[in-house]
Copies of this chain bind each other. A is one copy, B any other.
Amino acid sequence: MAAWSELLAGVRGVLLDISGVLYDGGEGGGAAITGSVEAVARLKRSRLKVRFCTNESQKSRADLVGLLQRLGFDVSESEVTAPAPAACLILKQRGLRPHLLVHDGVRSEFDQIDTSNPNCVVIADAGEDFSYQNMNKAFQVLMELENPVLFSLGKGRYYKETSGLMLDVGPYMKALEYACGIEAEVVGKPSPEFFKSALQEMGVEAHEAIMIGDDIVGDVGGAQRYGMRALQVRTGKFRPSDEHHPEVKADGYVDNLAEAVDLLLQHANK
């Protein structure tokens, strides 16, 4: 691995994944990852620009930010790039009316969207709402469309809660793709459009930005493909085998966000 000073030279902006980097979800909302509250605070006091870039699709942005603030994080809604608002923009632009297979917690993000007589399906991390009945309904809606359009808010394989690994939306996206013989449009990481809007909102070019995440494919691989640097933290869904992933190699691996911020404050923006 090259020296950190070389790896982090010229970084002006930092995109932070939330789940598995700031906190692990779970009972009672979850728990902050040790050192992450302070790490975010130090980062925001630095000259580096910071933005939160999440695939969280069970909760509305307001609920997610409320939870993070209760855990002690300095974060506001306007600093968060999340897939549900991005999906609403696309639906409006293309005049699409979705059938929603989403968690109740995120439904309010779609309040302004016409869902009558659906001509597409949107799935998000629905958790317990991924029942057979709900999946079958989404499938039937797609099969009745002449040109079935499926949006998936992210395509993560799983995430970590305090109680263990949990299936994310990606497996259910794959299930519907296979059932209907179609390919979903992913809204969220690792889609290039999603990174693009997060960088625009931060006002930083891809080559000046670094992504910090726990997902070797969605965070690290996605950011690198968009021309950013990327670190993987050994928290959240990280597994030791990620460091030998057949397709993706992070620019660096750090134990947690606190270590990443130590290194950034020492070496970045120089």
B residues less than 8 Å from A143 (CB atoms): 158, 165
A157-B130 in contact given A164-B140, A166-B136 (Cβ < 8 Å)? no
Q: Which of A5-13, A168-176, A190-198 contacts B (4 or more CB under 8 A)?
A: A168-176
Residue of B at shortest CB range from A138?
A: B167
Q: Check A93 for interface membership: any CB of B closer than 8 A.
A: no
Give the copy number. Answer: 2
Does A133 lie at the interface of the complex (its beta carbon under 8 Å from any beta carbon of B)?
yes
Q: Tell me which residues from 30 to 62 in chain A have a Cβ below 8 Å from any Cβ of chain B.
A: none
Range, interface on chain A: 20 to 34
Chain A stretch 90-142: residues in CB contact (< 8 A) with chain B: 126-133, 135-136, 139-140
Shortest beta-carbon distance, A126 to chain B, in Å? 8
Pair A171/B165 contact, Cβ less than 8 Å: no
CA distance A176 to B139 in the complex (A): 18
CB contacts (< 8 Å) of A127 on chain B: these are 132
Cβ of A28 under 8 Å from chain B = no
- Measured between beta carbons, the chain B residues less than 8 angstroms from A129 are 132
CA–CA, A76 to B9, complex, Å? 74
A and B contact pairs by CB, cutoff 8 A, 12 listed: A127-B132, A128-B131, A130-B131, A130-B132, A135-B167, A139-B171, A143-B165, A157-B178, A170-B178, A170-B179, A171-B174, A174-B174
A128-B132, A171-B175 are known contacts; what are 19 more A-B pairs with Cβ within 8 Å? Answer: A126-B132, A129-B132, A130-B132, A130-B135, A131-B132, A139-B167, A140-B164, A140-B165, A143-B158, A157-B178, A157-B181, A167-B175, A170-B178, A170-B179, A171-B174, A171-B178, A172-B175, A174-B174, A174-B175
